[in-house]
Amino acid sequence: MMVSSGRVRLERQGVWGADRPRLSLIWTLTFLLVLFLASSVSAAELRIGAPDLPRSPDPHYGLNWGDRLYYNQVYEGLAETDGHTKVLPALAESWERTDDGWLFRLRRDVRFQNGRPLTTRDVIFSLCRARNLPDAPRTFAKALGNVGALTPLDSHHLLVRLLDGDQRFPLGVATIPVVSAPVGAQWRFASPDCEGTGHIDSAAFADPSLRAGTGPYQMTEFTTDRVVLSRNPNHRDNRQPWAQVELLRLTESGLIRGILDRSVDIVYAPPLAAMEFVDAKGGVNFHLMSSTSITFLQFNWRTPAPSPLQDVRVREAIRRAIPRDVLSRRFMPGLVTPAGQVALPGAPDRSPSIPDDEYDPTAARRLLAEAGYPEGISIRMLASPSQYKVAKILALFLTKAGITTDVREDTADQVVARRRAGDYDLYCLGRIYNAADMPETLHTLLGGPGAGLLAGDRNYGGYADLAFDRLVADARAARTERARDMLVRKAAERAYANVAWIPVFHTKSAWITQSRVRMQPRLDRSLRLNEISLVETAGSL
């Protein structure tokens, strides 16, 4: 017994005595391995806070930023754009111009998340569905308005026939999300209507088992305040960095709280007033980039006569009363740049003859007097909720120049009601435009029902100028980029000369990330999860 006990005691001494350094090393390596595995799991999860998320899981329901944040990850179109708006292949591997449209060749290595292969039947079903979706606030119907027919040449070749001589690549059509057509669904796309059988209700997209997309991520949970995505293991690009992604709708205070307490990794559109406060806390990165977002003023052209705004001198006075450069330097330094036109500096379709800043309050008062208003005028400014603070600043400078401006803080529903009723003189709003298709952008904002075109769907004030519409129509039909750019410049100059609207500034896209997160903002302010990664540090394993 004594021998046995002594042997046990000696064995214990061997373990806890002489071999202690070896065991300590083993435990240290084990602990570091656990930390590495834990950090790897954490690194594979991403949480994004944003002020807006989609109201519907249906990818054909809306076109707002929050909608695109979701469906850009789960669904794909025939084409896509990179961070600088260059058009790239997506579900279509290539395309070519035909006499009356475009021929798209579909990729053969694409499967939907439900396992079915992509065919032209799915594309036709998706475009018909996007065109006819009921009760959708902003469908893709306008983008499809110039499509006369979709003709499948076989299962992987689709001919898109256009109704007029439009020579532009149909980016609005090519980027519509493609969904898996139901078994047995057969649709025929012919202007003006689609005909066929087989449907998917909007509510069905909330079911994760539908798996109707081809994108690199698939939806696993959906509410209007929280969306959970998981990596699609069968996507052709298996380099997606994140195993799970949470999209969270947060208030302004929630965005700041989330980035400071590290409960979110990225926040989009943080409140500008809090940027300096967050920066002082440290541990975060700011990402600012020029974007295709523009804030501008539209006139209410439907106001019955006599209206001061019908006089071009009054409209010019309003333009001269706005200090674009002061706004960009003093009120929102580093976050906006003055804008006298839609096109960004350096763009080939930007007019060199349109100035970005013309602030001259003395000239504004002189123009008012010349127009018969030496005592000034009073106007009502309508402002979208996101632009209310900007509108208040603009109203201050307008009033100083003799243009007494009343701005009311309205809800989104109230803004829509007042806009439809014509209860305003000026409308302050913003838009993210498509820099890859400037003829369409100009038509959307200022196009009237002329030159064979429908009125622009963001031309809320009812501006109409046949000469402008003809320039835009000619730009759409131009066969070369050089000719198209020249016509776009002429159209912009025409709108400037008539003071058809007043661009104010381009807004930079603003993101805040934790210091360990790296991302590259895009001109269109959209987000692609494969463009977000972790910063590798010297101390990382």
| pLDDT on residue 539 | 47
Domain 206-289+510-534, CATH homologous superfamily name and number: Periplasmic binding protein-like II (3.40.190.10)
Rank 39-43, 353-357, 384-388, 438-442 by mean pLDDT and report only the highest. 353-357
Q: How far is CA 251 from CA 15, 151, 343, 381, 415, in A?
A: 58, 46, 32, 26, 20
Residue 19 pLDDT level (bands cut at 50, 70, 90): very low
pLDDT higher than threshold 50 for residue 30 = no
> CA nearest 295: which of 325, 338, 352?
338
Asked whether this chain's domains 76-204 and 206-289+510-534 adopt the same fold, the reply is: no
| Distance (Å, whole) CA 378 – CA 99 | 54
| Distance (Å, whole) CA 265 – CA 25 | 34
Candidates 3.30.1280.10, 3.40.50.1980, 3.10.105.10, 3.90.1150.10; CATH matching 291-507: 3.10.105.10
76-204 has CATH 3.90.76.10 classification: yes
- In eight-state DSSP terms, residue 455 is P
Domain spans of the chain, in order of start: 2-43, 76-204, 206-289+510-534, 291-507
- In eight-state DSSP terms, residue 108 is S
Residue 282 pLDDT level (bands cut at 50, 70, 90): confident
| pLDDT on residue 452 | 63
3 state SS of 385: helix
> CA nearest 53: which of 384, 475, 527, 492?
527
DSSP string, 196-223: EE----GGGGG-GGG----SSEEEEEE-
Angle value at C-alpha 176, between 228 and 166, nearest 5 degrees: 160
Q: How far is CA 459 from CA 432, 463, 498, in A?
A: 14, 7, 15
Q: What average pLDDT does the segment 489-511 reach? A: 96
- Burial environment of residue 265 by CB neighbours within 10 A (0 to 12, 13 to 18, 19 or more): buried
Angle value at C-alpha 224, between 221 and 226, nearest 5 degrees: 50
| Distance (Å, whole) CA 125 – CA 181 | 6
Q: What average pLDDT does the segment 455-461 reach? A: 87
Q: 501: which residues sit within 8 A by CB, 6+ positions away? A: 296, 297, 298, 299, 445, 446, 461, 463, 495
Amino acid code (one letter) for 97: R
How many percent of the chain have pLDDT more than 90? 63
Strand-strand pairing, 426-432 and 377-383: parallel
Residue 537 pLDDT level (bands cut at 50, 70, 90): low
pLDDT higher than threshold 60 for residue 509 = yes
Phi/psi region, residue 282 (left: phi>0; alpha: psi -120 to 50; beta: rest), is left
| pLDDT on residue 33 | 42
pLDDT tens column, 299-330: 999 987 789 999 999 999 999 999 999 999 98
pLDDT tens column, 109-124: 999 999 999 999 999 9
Give the mean pLDDT of the chain. Answer: 87
Residue 126 pLDDT level (bands cut at 50, 70, 90): very high
| Distance (Å, whole) CA 451 – CA 458 | 18
| pLDDT on residue 266 | 96
Token pair 């302004």 in the structure block, residue: 252
Residue 295 pLDDT level (bands cut at 50, 70, 90): very high
Q: What average pLDDT does the segment 419-428 reach? A: 95
pLDDT tens column, 137-156: 667 877 888 899 999 999 99
Q: 8: which residues sit within 8 A by CB, 6+ positions away? A: none
pLDDT higher than threshold 70 for residue 34 = no
pTM score, two decimals?
0.79
| pLDDT on residue 303 | 84
| pLDDT on residue 489 | 98
Residues 234, 111 contacting (CB under 8 angstroms)? yes
- Evaluated on CA atoms 138, 144, 145, 150, the torsion sign reads negative
Residue 40 pLDDT level (bands cut at 50, 70, 90): very low
Residue 385 pLDDT level (bands cut at 50, 70, 90): confident
Other C-beta atoms closer than 10 Å to the C-beta of 221 total: 12
